[in-house]
Amino acid sequence: MTKVFINDCFCEEDEARVSVYDHGFLYGDGIFETLRVYAGRIFRLEAHLARLRASAAKIALPLPWDDAGLRETLQACLTVNGCDEAVLRLTVSRGPGPPGLDPVLCPTPTLVVLTRPFDGYPESMYREGISGALVSVRKPPADVLDPAIKSANYLNNILARIEAKQAGADEAILLNGDGFLAEGSVSNLFFFKDETLFTPSVASGILNGITRQVVLETARAEGIPVAEDLLRPEALLNADEAFLTNTTYEVMPLRQVDGRRYAIGPNAGRLHDIFRRHIHPG
């Protein structure tokens, strides 16, 4: 059983509590980051903290902790729980206050860090791939909800995942309001066609995932042609290979989408191998 960090102290996970008046609970008013830990090192920590601060600024959520303090807290979570391979979930909610939508009702945000031992998915998943389904649930447009906010309110993603599971798929693939490919419910989407790597652009209304950024950096460094664009679903269904990325997936092949089967080909595997060497140089 792991220990949970809440605000300024650790507690046993079965004793962890936040107020029923916390606006994160009442309204989903908060932000979060999921971070991967390899051999005791938090991967791309500075990028995650920068995105956390950007998300906080976009929802006018003051963060009373500086980056040094957050780094220290995250490292303490690993130390206390004795984890070298783990996933950290850092959540900041608006905090407790009387019911109502005005942020001034909540003067003190709530900080929670969950630590989960994790050393990756079985290699069989990367050999066999997972399945995806194009769903009817659409990504909200940026003028409704800025996709750059890593919001704790995941209802849109949950509805998409429900539809995907009902279709027998592992992951949902959402379109935006204009019918262009966007992203998975918990992942970014990539596919290969004629040796070119395609991915929906940020203009498609996606979250620019940290792992997505690393994969794009890696591909360009390897001389792989990259196209970030507005892409129709037909482009995905006519692809040679496809894969998803996120903090825990790393580079996860798609074996099929809506009955269209893909080869678990060399390109995604090559990128994954390079990605892992990037994590563990030498």
Strand pairing category for 130-138 and 250-257: parallel
- From the list 251, 207, 182, the residue with the least C-alpha distance to 36 is 251
In sequence order, the β-bridge partners of residue 90 are 33, 113
Give the pLDDT score at 281: 59
- Checking if the pLDDT of 282 tops 60, the result is no
> For 114-140, how does the pLDDT look when each residue is reduced to its tens digit (9 = 90+)?
999 999 999 999 999 999 999 999 999
* Helix (H/G/I), strand (E/B), else coil: 90: strand
Residues 102 and 131 placed together within one structural domain of the fold = no
**For range 227-255, the mean pLDDT:** 98
* DSSP secondary structure letters along 160-179: HHHHHHHTT-SEEEEE-TTS
What pTM value is reported for the model? 0.95
Residues 218 and 246 placed together within one structural domain of the fold = yes
**For range 128-154, the mean pLDDT:** 97
Residues 9 and 72 placed together within one structural domain of the fold = yes
CATH number at residue 207: 3.20.10.10
Largest distance between two CA atoms of the chain: 57
Q: Which of 63, 88, 117 is the last residue of a domain?
A: 117
Residues 113 and 128 placed together within one structural domain of the fold = no
Residues 113 and 143 placed together within one structural domain of the fold = no
Give the pLDDT score at 239: 98
Residues 62 and 188 placed together within one structural domain of the fold = no
Give the pLDDT score at 277: 87
Residues 162 and 243 placed together within one structural domain of the fold = yes
Distances in Å between the Cα of 16 and the Cα atoms of 23, 33, 110, 233 are: 17, 19, 13, 43
Residues 200 and 86 placed together within one structural domain of the fold = no
Residues 106 and 25 placed together within one structural domain of the fold = yes
Neighbours of 220 (CB within 10 A): 12
Residues 24 and 82 placed together within one structural domain of the fold = yes
Q: Burial, 76: exposed, middle or buried (Cβ in 10 Å; 0-12, 13-18, 19+)?
A: middle
How far is residue 151's CA from residue 29's CA, in Å, rounded to a whole number? 8
* Helix (H/G/I), strand (E/B), else coil: 15: helix
Strand pairing category for 196-200 and 171-175: unpaired
Please pick, among 3, 58, 139, 150, the residue that the annotation labels catalytic: 150
Residues 135 and 15 placed together within one structural domain of the fold = no
How many domains does the chain fold into? 2
CATH number at residue 39: 3.30.470.10
Give the pLDDT score at 237: 98
How far is residue 100's CA from residue 261's CA, in Å, rounded to a whole number? 48
Q: Which of 117, 150, 169 is the last residue of a domain?
A: 117
CB 113 within 8 A of CB 89: yes
Give the pLDDT score at 181: 98
Give the pLDDT score at 39: 95
How far is residue 142's CA from residue 140's CA, in Å, rounded to a whole number? 7
Q: Which of 117, 150, 176 is the last residue of a domain?
A: 117
What is the separation, in whole angstroms, between the first and last Cα of the chain? 34
Neighbours of 98 (CB within 10 A): 10
193 flagged as catalytic = no
- From the list 232, 262, 224, the residue with the least C-alpha distance to 244 is 262
CB 183 within 8 A of CB 171: no
Residue 244 domain boundaries: 123-279
CB 23 within 8 A of CB 95: yes
Residues 91 and 182 placed together within one structural domain of the fold = no
